Structure formats: C-alpha cells, structure tokens
Homo-oligomer: A and B are copies of this chain.
C-alpha cells in the first residue's frame, strides 16, 4: 500500500443550478491543488444540489446532470487535473424504470479520472422517511463498487447506505478496502453530529478502512446542510474534521496503512456548542434562502416581543443590518413597552426601522364589518400582514414570518395575519428555545465585546399577542415550559395522551393541547417554510391529514 492524499470538499450547491455547481466543484479542485491531493470527494448530489425532489423524475433534468458530469471530467483533464480522482454525486438515468414509470433515475456517485468517468456507484438504501422521499424518486442500485487507485482499494457509499445493514458496507468489508468514501447530503439536526460520528467510527471499525464522511453545506428550502465532514481511522479515531456551516476543504494523508491517517490541512475546526450550532443553522438557512432565490433584503414586523426580536437578530447576522427592514405596527392595544422595545431592538441591530400605525385601517374594516372577539383580534393581525406584504411587493423584500414552533403547533397565530411571509426562521424553534437562543446571542455578543442585540425587556416580559387589552399568552395556554414538554412528547416522540399523562402531566391539559395541535393542521399546511433543526419539524417531516377525527 502506497501513500494517498485525500481531500474532502464541502461545497454549497444550489438545486438545479448545474453549471454553477460544477463550476464550484472545479474551483474547489483548483484550490485544493496546492495541497497536492490524489483524490477529492464532494457531497451527495453536489452536481445538482440536494434534495432535487421530483426533478429526479424529469428525464431532461437527469440527462443535463449526466452531461455536466462528462463535461466536468473533460474540463478537469484540460486544465491539468486529470490525474486527481474527483468523486462527485449526481442523478443518472436508470436502465430500468419502476413504480409505473415514476422513478427513472439512480442517486449516483461517479469517479472522474483522466477525462473520463471511470467508476459509477448507485445508492442502494433510499431513505423514505422523515423529510426524505428517495424511494419515491430514485431506483435503488443493486451493486456495491470498489476499485484500485494508487495502490489502495477504495469503496463507495452514499449517506443512507451506512445507516442500514447489509451491502454496501458488508461487501466493502469483505473486499478489505483501505478507504471507504461516504458522500452525504445530511441535513442538520441537534445532536445528529454525535450520531454520525459514532456511525462512521463503526463503519471504519467494521471495514478496517479509513472512512471519510463528506457532507454538503448550505441551506436548501427547509433543510440546512451543516458540512462537518470528517475522517475516522479503523481504530475509531477522528483524524480531522472540517468546518460546520461553511464551505471548507479537509486534507488527510494515508501513509502505509489505514491506521496511519494523518491530518494535512491546518484546521481550527472545533465543535460549536449546541445553541451556537442552532443559531448558525438558522442564519445559514435564511442567508441561503435569500441568496439562492434572489432576495437582497427582508421585511418583518417588530412587536417588541421575543420572537420578532430573535428573527431580526438572525436576519441581521445573515444579511447585514442594512438589508433588514423592521416595521412597528402599533394598534390601540399596543403597550408603550412594545413600541419602545421594538425601537430599542432596531437601534441595537442598526437595522432600518419604520412605524406604521394600523388604527385607521382597522377602523375602516370595522366600520364595514361587524366583527367581535377572535374575528376582531384576527383582523388586527391581518391588517399588519397586508402592510408587510405591501412593503414586500413594493420594495422586493422577502417577508419573514416570526412565529415559533410552539405557536405553529397549537395554531396560536392568525392565518394570513402574522403568518404571512415566504420564510419562517423560527418554524422549528419551540418557544422555550427562542428565549434560550436570545440569551445565548446576547452572551455571545458580550463575549466578543459587542452590543447584545436583544433588549433584556423582550426576554423578561410575559409574552402577549396584544390583540385585546391586558392580554397575555398564558391566559389561554399553560406555561410554555409545560406546553413545550407536552408538544415534544406528542409531536416529537409520537406519544399518546395517555402515555404523556402517565409522565405526570395533567390529563385535561394534555387533551386540550393535543386537540389544538390536531385542529391546526390546515393552518400549518399553508405556512411558510423554515429551517428544520429538530428530529421532527412541521412540514414534510410530519405528514398528516387535515380531515382527521382520530381522538387519541
């Protein structure tokens, strides 16, 4: 066995932008060249971005991706990188269709060398749970692939392949591979990094091969790929780890035997603490949604409350203060502290800030329609929605909706009111975590000698929608600590109300909360997308009928 220098490249592809994505791969190869790698691996579907969803069922799309891979191989050769093995993920047309002709493509990895595609492997285990629809959109591969390169035996795997028993891992172990390359499109979830590490260590130990895990980075709709690529040796040691939430290149040298894998590239990458990881995921999710969809600025309502404050801080971190437009829209029920806390926030962030009082618009509706109670409360929220969308349409801002996961769960929001917007930064962040993130962000600022962005008063005051005099959230909901605990059990863990009550929660409260969650499904269906950060996000992660009379 000879020496081999391996590079893992975390690119941030945009779904469908095949030319830009292959250009990024070429650039990464050029940049890596100074480290003299023999082989460079990229993430799953780095050529097309991931997930491509039903684009996989369009023959023209898949053919375009395959053509781009062939052009890339030639281009690498022409530019003098023909002797580097470049390992890239992309869809490829399957020889046999299945499922009534729906799935026509494989989820494939190609090895490009000397201007040609020299190896092709197609994913055998297609995840079709949680947010993944791969069995819907791909034909599974049936053959494991390994090949000799520079005196080493190299095996290929794609993401879910190593989360399931059997081939390809079993086959690669049998073939005594020296190096296993695992290409991934693995979205961020809190605590998932530890599970990935343990899994890859197990693959390394099973196969007795250096095992390299390379992941995409970047936001794609409701998913955030966190990078965090790493290499483990057969003894289970993590040899090197790339940055989280940023494009990066990791270079490892394998000399003599798999156990002698050593880090080549200087790397300060270290694990961020949990809150910092979540914050980065939310920032990257929003930044990439804007960048990849052509938005240069965002608009959002600033109520003086904690949700809008945290959203504005995320937006400022993502886009810069000059690209954030905060609108205060006081009504007759708005307290003085609401207005002053909103102004204080905008001042701390340095973002744009405008006030649009809504009383006149609300009165115009109330004079025409006889509304009372909830209908009248919703009216105020909807007038604010119309204001934000008017400004969005006029100035081209993306509208952010500031609701959190807890609100979305129990339907504690006004559809077409505070829910308007193209992106929901806190969609998967429960209320208690919103507070925690606010405190974390302030402490983080202090640690770096900056002004804490969130007004202390927005963190400490009792939350209120301020849609009627003296209203606070806890008038109609249990304390948020209890509410979030029940929601985590019902939504996150699939527990039944009986099981939840058995843990000591008041049965009538559990029953009320579960009823609210079920009843709000129609609103969630019409809600904006937002970054998934937990094991069970609302959206394609949790698919339930609207019409559903099951009483747990």
Contact = CB atoms under 8 A, between A and B. Distances in A.
A346 to B, nearest CB: 19
Contact of A522 (B415, B422, B547): B422
Contacts of A129: 99-100, 102-103, 136
A360 interface: yes
Nearest to A52: B545
Contacts of A163: 100
A36 interface: no
Contacts of A55: 544-545, 548, 550
Interface residues of A, number: 89
A268 interface: no
Nearest to A16: B550
Given A99-B129, A365-B361, A57 B494 contact: yes
B369 A356 contact: yes
Contacts of A389: 378, 382, 415-416
A217 interface: no
A61 B289 CA distance: 37
Given A386-B383, A527-B526, A360 B367 contact: yes
A215 interface: no
A129 B525 CA distance: 20
Contact of A54 (B54, B364, B542): B542
21 contacts: A14-B549, A15-B545, A15-B548, A15-B550, A16-B551, A20-B549, A58-B496, A59-B494, A60-B498, A64-B550, A136-B543, A292-B547, A356-B369, A360-B364, A363-B364, A365-B386, A369-B387, A370-B394, A371-B394, A378-B389, A526-B526
Kindly list the 10 A-B residue pairs having the minimum CB-CB distance in the complex, ordered from nearest.
Answer: A16-B550, A102-B129, A375-B393, A17-B549, A60-B496, A375-B394, A364-B364, A361-B364, A16-B548, A16-B549
